[in-house]
Amino acid sequence: MEESKKIAVIGGGSWATALVKILCNNVSSLNWYMRNEGAVGHILKFRHNPNYLQSVEFDLNKINVSTDLEEMIRPADIVILATPSAFLVKLFENFPEEMLENKIVFSAVKGIIPEYHAIPARFIHKTFGTPYDNIGIICGPCHAEEVALERLSYLTIACQDDEVSEEMADLLACRYIKTTVSDDLFGTEISAVLKNVYAIASGICAGLGYGDNFQSVLISNAIQEIENLIDEMSPIHRDVKSSAYLGDLLVTAYSKFSRNRSFGFMIGKGYSVKTAQLEMDMVAEGYYATKSVMEIKNKFQVDMPIVEAVHNILYERISPVIEMRILTDKLN
């Protein structure tokens, strides 16, 4: 995509902040929508996001920040959604549906739309009429916190149209970001949703005192569950051992920056779901995804005991001690 293409980033969290930082390496200007007026004012005055990745300093000559969603999206050729999936429906509830129809839309959401049990690509297609060839996903393995530190990171850009994914990959590639492309839009997006559920499972086990030996078995079984479901939902050739699937799962399940693992760790330590959410003051996508994934896996009749265990703990209020003890007999 030529540098003259206009880009809008939608979201005010850590991943949106990281994407704005990355894109500023390769574009001359972009629009950035944030709903928090205080945060917008702070950025315009001090050039830092006051709530996320505060160390990142922005070049305001390249960035137009606003709380007006339509104003930010209307002139854009490319829209990157980086808002938590639980808030997407509300964000666009009064938005003109035709405005996204002819734009290229990339999701950096990595969650599921709980109202529809749908991945963002399907939500975008059904809601705005955007063709699937104009819809992509930006996924890891990559944590926003390491982007802020400019540590070497990798992004996978997936779209059914190879030209679109390759051009977006060029926009995101820089000194500390390496990019690869994929045509597996649905597989990478579903995997990005699932890895958050397994990161919660990993955190619960750590909170309960399970060690590295068990964690290795847990994550080995998790990648098998991911493969079984995405092969049922989107039966194309893919290698789940590659970075977009296994790599993204590993970093989310093990990293100290993983909010889903942190959320699970608190659950394992005895926090209630509500208390853990309040304590984090951040959205753990895996919480919402767990309920939707249960609906999806039942629809496709795929055996996923780890997902079932997490669902029972979060939504059925079964003791993590009991549920994980039962799970240990189902893994191999």
Q: CATH no. for residue 201?
A: 1.10.1040.10
Asked if 247 and 152 sit in the same domain, the reply is no
Q: Has residue 61 been placed in a domain?
A: yes
Q: Has residue 205 been placed in a domain?
A: yes
Structural tokens at position 64 = 């137009």
Listed residues 127, 154, 183: the one ending a domain: 183
Asked if 35 and 178 sit in the same domain, the reply is yes
8 A C-beta contact, residue 23 and residue 15: no
Q: Has residue 49 been placed in a domain?
A: yes
Q: Has residue 274 been placed in a domain?
A: yes
Q: Has residue 227 been placed in a domain?
A: yes
Pairing type for strands 7-10 and 78-81 reads parallel
Q: Has residue 56 been placed in a domain?
A: yes
Rounded CA-CA distance 245/100 in Å is: 28
Cβ neighbours around 173 below 10 Å, total: 17
Is the whole-model pTM more than 0.85? yes
Q: Residue 306: enclosing H or E segment and its boundaries? A: helix 305-315
Asked if 170 and 304 sit in the same domain, the reply is no
Residue 79, phi then psi, degrees to nearest 5: -115, 125
Asked if 51 and 126 sit in the same domain, the reply is yes
Q: Has residue 1 been placed in a domain?
A: no
pLDDT for 282 equals 74
Listed residues 183, 218, 243: the one ending a domain: 183
User: Residue 313's domain spans which residues?
Assistant: 188-328
Asked if 15 and 88 sit in the same domain, the reply is yes
Q: Tell me the pLDDT tens digit for each residue of 211-258.
A: 999 999 999 999 999 999 999 999 999 999 999 999 999 999 999 899
Q: Has residue 261 been placed in a domain?
A: yes
Asked if 135 and 74 sit in the same domain, the reply is yes
Asked if 155 and 130 sit in the same domain, the reply is yes
Give how many domains the chain has, as a whole number.
2
pLDDT for 1 equals 42
Listed residues 183, 213, 235: the one ending a domain: 183
DSSP-derived 3-state class of residue 59? coil
Any idea what the CATH number is for the domain that residue 147 is in?
3.40.50.720
Asked if 207 and 123 sit in the same domain, the reply is no
Q: Say if residue 258 is exposed, middle or buried (CB neighbours under 10 Å; 0-12, 13-18, 19+).
A: buried
Asked if 103 and 199 sit in the same domain, the reply is no
Q: Tell me the pLDDT tens digit for each residue of 70-95.
A: 999 999 999 999 998 989 999 999 89
Distances (CA, A) of 239 to 5, 154, 234, 242, 249: 33, 17, 13, 6, 14
pLDDT for 283 equals 78
pLDDT for 77 equals 95
Asked if 155 and 43 sit in the same domain, the reply is yes
pLDDT for 101 equals 86
Asked if 30 and 162 sit in the same domain, the reply is yes
Instruction: For the chain, 332 residues long, give each residue's pLDDT as a single digit of tens.
Output: 444 689 999 999 999 999 999 999 999 999 999 999 999 999 999 999 999 999 999 999 999 999 999 999 999 999 999 998 989 999 999 899 889 988 999 999 988 998 888 999 999 999 999 999 999 999 989 999 999 999 999 999 999 999 999 999 999 999 999 999 999 999 999 999 999 999 999 999 999 999 999 999 999 999 999 999 999 999 999 999 999 999 999 999 999 899 999 999 999 999 999 999 888 877 788 999 999 999 999 999 999 999 999 999 999 999 999 999 999 999 99
Residues near 71 by beta carbon (within 8 Å), at least 6 away in sequence: 31
pLDDT for 108 equals 95
Asked if 193 and 179 sit in the same domain, the reply is no
Rounded CA-CA distance 144/250 in Å is: 15
